[in-house]
Structure 1
Amino acid sequence: MRVDEYLRHDAVGLAELVRAGEVTSTELLDVAIERAEQVNPALNAIILPMYEEARRLAATAPEGPLGGVPFLLKDLFQDYAGYPTSCGNRALRHVPASGHAEVVHRWLKAGLVPLGKTNVPEFGAKAVTEPLEFGPTRNPWNTGHTPGGSSGGSAAAVAAGITPAAGANDGGGSIRIPAAACGLFGLKPGRGRVPFGPLRGEPMNGASVNGVLTRTVRDSAALLDVMAGSEPTSPYPIAPPERPYAQEVGHPPGRLRIGFSQRSPLGTRVHPEAVRAVREAAALLEELGHEVVEAEPAIDGRSLTEDFLTMWYGSMAALVDGIKADTGCADDDFEPDTLMLAAMGRARSSADYVRGHDRWNQHILALADFHSRYDLLLTPTIAGPPVTIGRLDPPTWLRTAERLLVRTRTERIVTATDMVATEVMNNLTATPFTMTANLTGTPAMSVPLHWTDSGLPLGVQFIAAAAGEGLLLRLAAQLEQARPWERRRPTGVPFPTSVSSRDGAAS
C-alpha cells in the first residue's frame, strides 16, 4: 500500500481492507511509520516511537473490529506496560509502566496497533502542547500555530495522516480543543462512560475522561463501542447505550431544538471568526430542519471556573507531591508553572475543596434545566483561531518570579498577590467554553465545520444531556454528510498530490 492510498481510508475502512485480505496489518504499519517519518520532524507529534513493539503486534495479525489499524497513545494516563508514561514531565520520562491502562487493553483487544506515544503539555495542564521537556507540537495546518492541548500531539498526528485515530483524554477540553484547532472530530464521553483504571478510578472528581481524536464520525463511534463500559475500579456502573454507537451513525437525529450562544462564559472577548463559526453552524442546522434558538444555561461562568480551578489546583498539588514521594525527584524536575499551580492547591484548605465540589451540583442542575427545554447547547469550541506557538507562555517577569518563589520556598506569596490566578484566568479566556461539560460530567463534541479566511480550522461545540453520546453521534453524522470535512487536508505539511489540494479542500 502507498501513502496516498493509506490516506484515503479512515480506521473503519482500513480494518475492512485487512479483513478482506487486501492488505496486511504489517503493510499498514509500514505505511504509517513511513508517514510518521515524513511529517513528524516538522510537527513533533510523536515523542516516543514504539515501532519494534508495533511490528511485533502487527506480525500476529491482530483480530477484532479494528484489527491491524495503526494507532497512537497519548502520553498521559494511557499506560503501556514496559514503556514510560512521561506526562510531559522530566522525572517520569524514563519510568516504565508496570502494566497497561484498561483503555489500552481494550484498544489492543480491538486489534489496534499502537506505534508510539504523543506529545502533551506537562500533566495536561494547558490548552497548548508546549512542554519544556519535549518542545512544542505544531499544527499541520500552519506550523507556526498550536494544535491545541492537551491532546495536541494526537491531534497533529491524526490531522497529518500518520494514523486515522489516536488516543486522547479530556479534563477541561483536551479532546475538543485540539479537535477544533486541527479540523478533526472530537467527542468527549460523559462521566463514567469510559474507564480510567486500573490505577485511577475517577480522576479530577470525574471531570477527566478517556477518548479519541478521529477524522470521521464513524471512527469515533466504533472506538467508543470498544472503550465504553465499567471496570472493577469504576466508582459506579452506568447504563449501557440502547444500541451500539456505530449504529447511531446514519440514524436520523430527528428534529432537534438547539440553543446556541457565542458569548464567553467569562464575559471575555470572542473572536469574530468564532462568532461566525457558530452563526454558520446555526444556519446549517436550520437548513437541516432543526429549531435553533439563541439561549444558554443559567450558569455563572466565573463561579463555575473558580470551582473547576479549585479542583484543578488541588489535583496538581496531589500529583506533584505523589511523584516526588514515588521517585525522589526535586522541584527542578517540574516546570515552574506546574509548581505554581501545585502551590495554589496547597494554599487552599480541604474545606475549600469540599465547598467548591459541593457547588458543582448547582451547575449540574442549571445545565439539566437548560436540557429540559433544549436538546443540545451549541457554542464555539475555542474563543478564536489557534494561537501561535508561545502565545500563551507566561510573561518573562512571571516566569522569573515563579523560579524565585520556588527557590526561596515562598510560593504561598502567590495566594496573597493572586498573580498566578490572574495569569491562569487570562489563559482560560482562549478556551472558556469547554469546562462546563467536564464539571457537569455531560458528553460534548467539537465538529469541524469552519475554516478561517487564513485557512485555520475552528470547530464548534455541542453539549448534550447526560448519556447523550448517541444523540451527538447522530447529529455529527448528519452534519458530516451535509458539510463533508474528512477529505480536507492540512497545508502546512506535504501530502501526496492525489489526496491534497492547494486550498486544503477535498480533492
Structure 2
Amino acid sequence: MFREYAQYDGLGLADLIRQKEVSPSEVLEAALERASALNPELNAIVHTFAERARRMAEDVSGEGLFSGVPFLFKDLMDDFAGEPMSMGSLAVKRIPDRHSELVRRYMDTGLIPFGKTSTPEFGLTITTEPKAFGPVHNPWKRGYSTGGSSGGSAAVVAAGIVPMASANDGGGSIRFPAACCGVFGFKPSRGLTPVGPEFGEPWEGAVTGHVITRSVRDSAAMLDAVSGPEVGAAYRVARLERSCLKACAEDPRPLRIAFSSRPMISTAVHPEALKGLESTVRLLQNMGHKVEEAAPSIDRNRFWKDFMVVVCAHTAALCHKVRQWGGPEAVRRLEPATRNMAAMGKSLSSLDFVLAKEGWHGVQLAMGRFLETWDVFLTPTLIGPPAAHGEIPPSPMEEKLLVAGSWLPGGAFLLKSGLAKPFAAPTLNRMAFTICGNMTGLPGMSLPLHETAEGLPLGMLFTGRMGEDATLFALAGQVERARPWLHNRPPLAAFSGKP
C-alpha cells in the first residue's frame, strides 16, 4: 500500500508515476482507501465509480501532465458522461451522454476521476448543507461548514483524499470553501476556462470553473492546461501569454497592493478576519511589496441588489428546466430557498434585469479604474470564521415563510425595496468580499494565511487585473514559500492506511 500518498501534490504524484516508482493503480487504491476511511466523517463524496476508475488506471499512458492522479468532480456543471448529476438537489438526476468541455480538458491531462463531491442545491448558497445529501463536515472541526458551493471539493482536498478536485465559482464558490478548509482556491479571469456546451454564459458570466488544490503549482499547471478558446463561447480568449506554472516558481517584482477591511455589503467583520488581514499585510510588506490601505468606490446598497436580481432570474430559468425534466412534482422537491429565489426571479421584468446589469458594469468600471493604480487588491476572503452547521440555512419557520412567499406576487418589490435582504443576509453577508470578483470577472485567489483561536482556517483574498492571472500566481508562489501550508493536516484527515 502506498502510505505516503497524501504527502504529495498532483504534480508530485504524476512524477512518481512517470518515474515508475509507483503505479497508477497503487495511487488510485490509496485514494480510494482514504475516501472509504474518511468520507463517513466528512460526507463530502456523494457518488463514486471506483470500478470505472480502476479500468482507467490500468490504461494510463503516462503522457499527460497529471497522468494517473486521482481526481473528484464537483456535482455541478462538470458533466462526466455516463455518471449521474444531481446538482445537489432531490429534484434532479441527469445522466449526461458526453463530457462538458472543461471535463474533457481535465481528462486530457491524464487524471483518474472516481467520484463526485457534494454541493448545495444548484450552488446557490455559501455552505454545503443540501437536503439531498446532508451537511459536509469541515475537516478541521466536525459540525462546521466547509463553505460553498464547492464545499465537498474543498473538504476532500484538505483531507488529502485527492490533491485537487474540480470546482466552480459564481459568488465565491472556489475561494470561499478554500478559505474555510485551509487550501488554495483560484478563480480565473472570465472566459479563460470553458463552460460549454451545456452553458453559454452562466449567471451572465459570473461563473468560472477551475480546481481547488493544496499546492499553488497544481492550480497553476492545471490552468495552463485547460485555458483557452472554446467553440460557441460568449468570450473569445486566447491562452495566457505567460505560463502560470512558470510564474509561480519566480518571485514577482515588488507589487503595489491595496488592502481593505471594508466589505462591499453592509455587514460586520469578525475580529479574526481583521487579525488575519493585519498579519498578511505585515508579511507582504516584509517581502518588499508596497502595501497601503485603499478601496474602490462602490455603492454598497445597490451592489447586493444588482447581484441578486441576476442570480434570481437565472434560478427561475433553471427551475423552469427542472419542470421540463421532471414536471411539477420535481419542482415541489426543490428546497424552499431555491423556490423562493425562483419566484423572485420570475417576478422581475426585463427592465429590472438590464438595470441590474448596468449596475454590474458600474462595479467593473470602478474596479478597472482602481486597478490602474494598484496591481492587487487584498481583503479577507471571509467576514468571519467558518459557521457552525445550521447557522446559515433557513430555520424551519423561515422555510415555511419562504414556501409561502414563493406563491405570492411581489418578489421584485421585495428585492428592490431591500425587504428580501434579511432572508438572504446569512448567505449574502458572508459573500461581501467575494462577489465583486464574479460581477467583474477579475481573477482572484484565497490563500490559507490565518487560523482562528479555535483552530479553524480563515483565508485571505487577492484580486488582480483582468487577464493577469500569472501575476497572482507569482505572488501566491512567493507567499507559499514564505509561509508553507502544503503539509498542514486537519484533525479529520488523520489516516495513514491499514497496518
| TM tier, smaller | over 0.9
Does the residue aligned with 2:267 lie in a helix, a strand or coil?
coil
Structure 2 residue aligned with 1:165 = 164
Residues 199-221 of structure 1: CA distance to partner in whole angstroms, max 9, x if unpaired? 11221111000011000000000
Does the residue aligned with 2:186 lie in a helix, a strand or coil?
strand
In the alignment, residue 241 of structure 1 is paired with which amino acid? L
Residues 415-449 of structure 1: CA distance to partner in whole angstroms, max 9, x if unpaired? 45965442113432222100001000100000011
Structure 2 residue aligned with 1:309 = 308
- RMSD over aligned Cα atoms: 1.6
Q: Could you tell me how far 1:355 is from its partner in structure 2? A: 1.1
Report the Cα distance in structure 2 between the residues aligned to 1:78 and 1:396, rounded to whole angstroms: 32
**Distance change (3 Å), C-alpha of 1:421 and 1:321:** farther
> Contact between 1:364 and 1:440, CA under 8 Å: does it hold in 2?
yes
Does the residue aligned with 1:399 lie in a helix, a strand or coil?
helix
Does the residue aligned with 1:345 lie in a helix, a strand or coil?
helix
Structure 1 residue aligned with 2:403 = 403
Q: Which stretch of structure 1 is more off in the superposition, 148-157 or 353-362?
A: 353-362
Report the Cα distance in structure 2 between the residues aligned to 1:437 and 1:17, rounded to whole angstroms: 36
Report the Cα distance in structure 2 between the residues aligned to 1:455 and 1:496, rounded to whole angstroms: 22
In the alignment, residue 49 of structure 2 is paired with which amino acid? M
Equivalent residue runs for 1:242-253 within 5 Å = 242-253=241-252
Q: Which stretch of structure 1 is more off in the superposition, 184-193 or 243-252?
A: 243-252
Structure 2 residue aligned with 1:431 = 431
> Contact between 2:257 and 2:374, CA under 8 Å: does it hold in 1?
yes
Report the Cα distance in structure 2 between the residues aligned to 1:419 and 1:27, rounded to whole angstroms: 56
Report the Cα distance in structure 2 between the residues aligned to 1:301 and 1:53, rounded to whole angstroms: 49
Equivalent residue runs for 1:108-507 within 5 Å = 108-330=107-329, 331-406=331-406, 409-410=407-408, 412=410, 415=413, 420-496=420-496
> Contact between 1:414 and 1:420, CA under 8 Å: does it hold in 2?
no
Structure 1 residue aligned with 2:45 = 46
> Contact between 2:88 and 2:133, CA under 8 Å: does it hold in 1?
yes
Residues 288-310 of structure 1: CA distance to partner in whole angstroms, max 9, x if unpaired? 00010000111123322211111
Q: Which runs of 5+ in 1 are unaligned?
A: 498-507
Report the Cα distance in structure 2 between the residues aligned to 1:313 and 1:421, rounded to whole angstroms: 13
Q: Which runs of 5+ in 2 are unaligned?
A: none
> Contact between 1:340 and 1:420, CA under 8 Å: does it hold in 2?
no
Residues 360-398 of structure 1: CA distance to partner in whole angstroms, max 9, x if unpaired? 211111101110111100000010000001111213322
Report the Cα distance in structure 2 between the residues aligned to 1:427 and 1:240, rounded to whole angstroms: 34
What TM-score, normalized by structure 2, do the two folds share?
0.96
Report the Cα distance in structure 1 between the residues aligned to 2:255 and 2:493, rounded to whole angstroms: 38
What TM-score, normalized by structure 1, do the two folds share?
0.95
Q: Which stretch of structure 1 is more off in the superposition, 258-267 or 109-118?
A: 258-267
Report the Cα distance in structure 2 between the residues aligned to 1:295 and 1:323, rounded to whole angstroms: 44
> Contact between 2:150 and 2:167, CA under 8 Å: does it hold in 1?
yes
> Contact between 2:72 and 2:116, CA under 8 Å: does it hold in 1?
yes
Report the Cα distance in structure 2 between the residues aligned to 1:19 and 1:137, rounded to whole angstroms: 34
Q: Could you tell me how far 1:405 is from its partner in structure 2? A: 4.3
Q: Could you tell me how far 1:329 is from its partner in structure 2? A: 4.4
Structure 2 residue aligned with 1:505 = none
Report the Cα distance in structure 2 between the residues aligned to 1:167 and 1:67, rounded to whole angstroms: 16
Report the Cα distance in structure 2 between the residues aligned to 1:277 and 1:206, rounded to whole angstroms: 31
Report the Cα distance in structure 1 between the residues aligned to 2:342 and 2:20, rounded to whole angstroms: 52
Report the Cα distance in structure 1 between the residues aligned to 2:182 and 2:129, rounded to whole angstroms: 19
> Contact between 1:192 and 1:238, CA under 8 Å: does it hold in 2?
yes
Residues 322-377 of structure 1: CA distance to partner in whole angstroms, max 9, x if unpaired? 12113324332201110000011011101100111122211111101110111100
Report the Cα distance in structure 2 between the residues aligned to 1:134 and 1:395, rounded to whole angstroms: 18
> Contact between 1:91 and 1:327, CA under 8 Å: does it hold in 2?
yes
Report the Cα distance in structure 1 between the residues aligned to 2:420 and 2:300, rounded to whole angstroms: 19
> Contact between 1:176 and 1:381, CA under 8 Å: does it hold in 2?
yes
How many pairs does the alignment contain?
494
Report the Cα distance in structure 2 between the residues aligned to 1:56 and 1:420, rounded to whole angstroms: 50
Q: Could you tell me how far 1:247 is from its partner in structure 2? A: 0.9
Structure 2 residue aligned with 1:106 = 105
Report the Cα distance in structure 2 between the residues aligned to 1:200 and 1:398, rounded to whole angstroms: 32
Report the Cα distance in structure 2 between the residues aligned to 1:490 and 1:247, rounded to whole angstroms: 29
Q: Could you tell me how far 1:92 is from its partner in structure 2? A: 1.6
Structure 1 residue aligned with 2:68 = 68
The alignment-based identity, stated in percent, is 44
> Contact between 1:195 and 1:201, CA under 8 Å: does it hold in 2?
no
> Contact between 2:244 and 2:474, CA under 8 Å: does it hold in 1?
no
Report the Cα distance in structure 1 between the residues aligned to 2:477 and 2:43, rounded to whole angstroms: 31
> Contact between 2:347 and 2:411, CA under 8 Å: does it hold in 1?
no
> Contact between 2:393 and 2:426, CA under 8 Å: does it hold in 1?
no
Q: Could you tell me how far 1:155 is from its partner in structure 2? A: 0.4
Report the Cα distance in structure 1 between the residues aligned to 2:403 and 2:361, rounded to whole angstroms: 37
Report the Cα distance in structure 1 between the residues aligned to 2:412 and 2:362, rounded to whole angstroms: 29
Report the Cα distance in structure 2 between the residues aligned to 1:175 and 1:120, rounded to whole angstroms: 12
> Contact between 2:343 and 2:411, CA under 8 Å: does it hold in 1?
no
> Contact between 1:80 and 1:104, CA under 8 Å: does it hold in 2?
yes
Report the Cα distance in structure 2 between the residues aligned to 1:495 and 1:283, rounded to whole angstroms: 35
Report the Cα distance in structure 1 between the residues aligned to 2:82 and 2:413, rounded to whole angstroms: 40
Does the residue aligned with 1:156 lie in a helix, a strand or coil?
helix
Report the Cα distance in structure 2 between the residues aligned to 1:61 and 1:395, rounded to whole angstroms: 48
> Contact between 2:345 and 2:411, CA under 8 Å: does it hold in 1?
no
In the alignment, residue 203 of structure 2 is paired with which amino acid? M
> Contact between 1:24 and 1:61, CA under 8 Å: does it hold in 2?
no
Report the Cα distance in structure 2 between the residues aligned to 1:405 and 1:261, rounded to whole angstroms: 37
Residues 222-279 of structure 1: CA distance to partner in whole angstroms, max 9, x if unpaired? 1111220111021131232123221111122100010000112223110000001111
Report the Cα distance in structure 2 between the residues aligned to 1:87 and 1:419, rounded to whole angstroms: 29
Does the residue aligned with 2:203 lie in a helix, a strand or coil?
helix
In the alignment, residue 271 of structure 2 is paired with which amino acid? P
Structure 2 residue aligned with 1:500 = none
Does the residue aligned with 1:394 lie in a helix, a strand or coil?
coil
In the alignment, residue 456 of structure 2 is paired with which amino acid? L
Report the Cα distance in structure 1 between the residues aligned to 2:88 and 2:103, rounded to whole angstroms: 19
Q: Could you tell me how far 1:85 is from its partner in structure 2? A: 1.2
